[in-house]
């Protein structure tokens, strides 16, 4: 399977990167081809809602001159994309949200309804948070389902790792959850 992971954290050595690293190691050991996108390495601007992308049927076709079209082409070529984000103010990081908004350009109008350039691909979500799921992380749960619906992708799984304080404090139970998750999303 061709897998793209997206590290949505601004901290390349942080909690999310630690959990994602466990998952990536397991995926690579399973023989999957893997590429990581670190959002902070790229120039990404917010969607302006101009709808010019709707005029280009086969490419993202965004008129903004930044790195996002190139990144979206990686998602188009992948079988599975894993979005990984720390919970920032009950939602995605602003960096990852920018990329998600720009996935709007993947949805193309057609005579039989709109179709997505990543339709049928798998999409998965990893979230790390300091607090619990209840009363805190639910605000990421439904948006992920909606993103799958909008992009016509297949939900491959969600993992919420709560109680994350520092990478050093991430324990064996979290690692076990991450490894099981790697199995789940490729199964
Ligand atoms: C700006 C900011 C906002 C945060 N908001 C929340 C939050 O709403 N709920 C929560 O449980 N943790 C929150 N946290 C804690 C992080 O989600 C948590 O520590 C996460 O594991 C950090 O991952 P990272 O090391 O990859 O950045 C926040 C942290 C920051 C820096």
Ligand 1 centroid – CA 8 distance (Å): 12
Nearest to 63 by CA among 71, 53, 78, 74: 53
pLDDT along the chain (187 residues), means of 10: 98 98 98 98 98 97 98 98 98 98 97 94 98 96 97 98 97 98 97
Question: Do the Cβ atoms of 119 and 87 come closer than 8 Å?
Answer: no
Ligand 1 atom with the smallest distance to the CA of 165 is 19
Query: How far is the C-alpha of 111 from the C-alpha of 109, rounded, in Å?
Result: 7
Residue with the nearest Cα to atom 29 of ligand 1?
Answer: 88
Ligand 1 atom with the smallest distance to the CA of 132 is 11
Token couple for 84: 């990984």
Query: How far is the C-alpha of 10 from the C-alpha of 137, rounded, in Å?
Result: 19
CB under 6 Å to ligand 1: residues?
9, 11, 14-17, 86-90, 128-131, 136, 164
Ligand 1 centroid – CA 120 distance (Å): 31
Query: How far is the C-alpha of 77 from the C-alpha of 79, rounded, in Å?
Result: 7
Query: What pTM was computed for the model?
Result: 0.98
3-state helix, strand, coil in the chain (%, to 5): 40, 20, 35
Residue with the nearest Cα to atom 19 of ligand 1?
Answer: 130
Which pLDDT score is estimated for 112?
85
> Mapping DSSP to helix (H, G, I), strand (E, B) and coil, where does residue 51 land?
coil
Q: Which domains does the chain have, with CATH numbers?
A: 2-186 (3.40.50.360)
Ligand 1 centroid – CA 13 distance (Å): 14
Ligand 1 centroid – CA 52 distance (Å): 35
């Amino acid at each position: 399977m061709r897998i793209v992971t997206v590290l949505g954290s601004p901290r390349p050595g942080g909690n999310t990167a630690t959990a994602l690293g466990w998952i990536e190691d397991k995926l690579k050991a399973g023989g999957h081809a893997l590429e990581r996108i670190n959002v902070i390495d790229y120039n990404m601007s917010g969607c302006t809602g101009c709808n010019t992308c709707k005029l280009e049927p086969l490419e993202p076709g965004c008129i903004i001159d930044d790195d996002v079209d190139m990144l979206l082409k990686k998602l188009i070529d992948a079988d599975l994309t894993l979005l990984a984000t720390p919970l920032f103010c009950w939602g995605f990081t602003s960096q990852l949200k920018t990329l998600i908004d720009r996935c709007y350009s993947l949805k193309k109008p057609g005579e039989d309804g709109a179709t997505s350039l990543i339709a049928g691909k798998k999409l998965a979500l990893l979230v790390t948070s300091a607090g619990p799921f209840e009363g805190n992380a639910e605000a990421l749960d439904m948006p992920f389902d909606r993103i799958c619906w909008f992009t016509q992708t297949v939900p491959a799984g969600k993992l919420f790792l709560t109680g994350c304080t520092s990478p050093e404090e991430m324990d064996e139970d979290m690692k076990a959850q991450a490894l099981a998750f790697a199995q789940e999303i490729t199964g």
